[in-house]
Amino acid sequence: MPIAVPQTRQFAAFTANISYARDLINAGQSLAGLQPGALDIGDLYRAAWVQAVSALDHWLHEELYVRVAALAANTGPGMPAQLRKVELPLSVIEEVRLGNLPISEAVLEQVRAKWFFAALQNPRKIAEALRLVTDEDMWGKAAAKLNEWNHGATNLDAARLKARLHAIVERRNQIAHAADLEDGHLKRRHPIDGATTTDAVDWIERIAIAIATVLG
Phi, psi of 130 (to 5 degrees): -75, -15
Phi-psi region at 214: left, alpha or beta (left = phi > 0; alpha = psi -120 to 50): alpha
DSSP characters over 20-58: HHHHHHHHHHHHTTT--TT--HHHHHHHHHHHHHHHHHH
pTM of the model: 0.92
More confident residue, 19 or 36: 19
**Which range among 32-46, 146-160, 195-209 shows the weakest confidence by mean pLDDT?**
32-46
What is the band of 36 on the pLDDT scale with cuts at 50, 70, 90?
A: low
Q: What mean pLDDT do residues 106-128 have?
A: 94
CA-based nearest residue to 142, from 172, 165, 171, 176: 165
Q: Which of 87-91, 101-105, 173-177 has the highest mean pLDDT?
A: 173-177
**What was the pLDDT predicted at 2?**
62
Task: State residue 1's pLDDT score.
Answer: 45
